[in-house]
Chain A
């Protein structure tokens, strides 16, 4: 079962490498990548997500906004937009609760970090959520 594709490919004339070394073409990727930066890292934000107890809610959450320097802000930016769009749609039907910017950011954080399986960051987001409550 594990070889079902390669078995077919053999029948169809493919040269099958039993060891999937996939030195197929390092050059193709390398030509697009600097040698010291071949893996895209999704890094947690440099600043902690929890706030000092003395800070007020109106100060909002510090979310890095630069896009080109790290992968995370762009991803978060898109996640926040996603949540906002959904909130806007939901808001037409449900007007009972006022949604704050913090709510949107936290949901976006959960959405992203849960998917990225970055539990430590998710926990940090949960801590933030508890503080706001």
Chain B
């Protein structure tokens, strides 16, 4: 049985890897089947600002830290959006309760090297996580190369990657999710598939834990 309320953190010590874009679009995908709350833990409040642009008209709640403390509506999934350059102490704090971590990265060496360091750290601690390859270009060639590398090193990575696209920029500029942008269905489907993979991972690992607890 997966937890009654699932806590997910989207984080990377490196900034500018697409954390907020990931949060917004995954929250949209999750909200098809779950009640979703996004907590903007970034002092720059990018997710909150995005939500303000659309007068908070979303299929999921977007809260700042202060609002989150008093939030009383039902929720199935709580997603924490974190700041770029997140401190070690904050990561340790997230490790106390989060069931799943998503590490977005871009495909260049300056971005994926810090991601790889974080991944190593998570692997050592036995944390449930996957890397999400964002902003891949050249018909996915670079992303596929990186995915092959991560797979070769047994670092968990999402099956789907997010391509570089002006439609993603349009979506954030106009306070929309990618699903709400005309002609971006293909990218939207990728976020849906990533959300589905998160749920599959959680179901698989929690069912195994249940079996272990029952002595199977």
Contacts and interface: CB of A to CB of B under 8 A. Distances in A.
Interface of A: 2-18, 20, 22-30, 32-34, 37-40, 42, 67-68, 71, 74-75, 78-79, 82, 111-112, 115-116
B209 interface: yes
B96 A75 contact: no
Nearest to A24: B128
Given A5-B80, A5-B93, A111-B109, A12 B37 contact: yes
Contact of A33 (B69, B80, B154): B154
A76 B83 CA distance: 28
Contact of B68 (A8, A20, A23): A8
A40 B94 CA distance: 23
Contact of B109 (A24, A32, A78): A78
A6 B108 CA distance: 33
Contacts of B124: 38-39
Given A8-B39, A29-B123, A29-B128, A24 B99 contact: yes
B137 to A, nearest CB: 11
Given A78-B145, A115-B110, A40 B97 contact: no
Contacts of A75: 109, 112-113, 149
7 contacts: A9-B78, A12-B7, A29-B123, A34-B154, A42-B116, A74-B145, A78-B146
B205 A4 contact: no
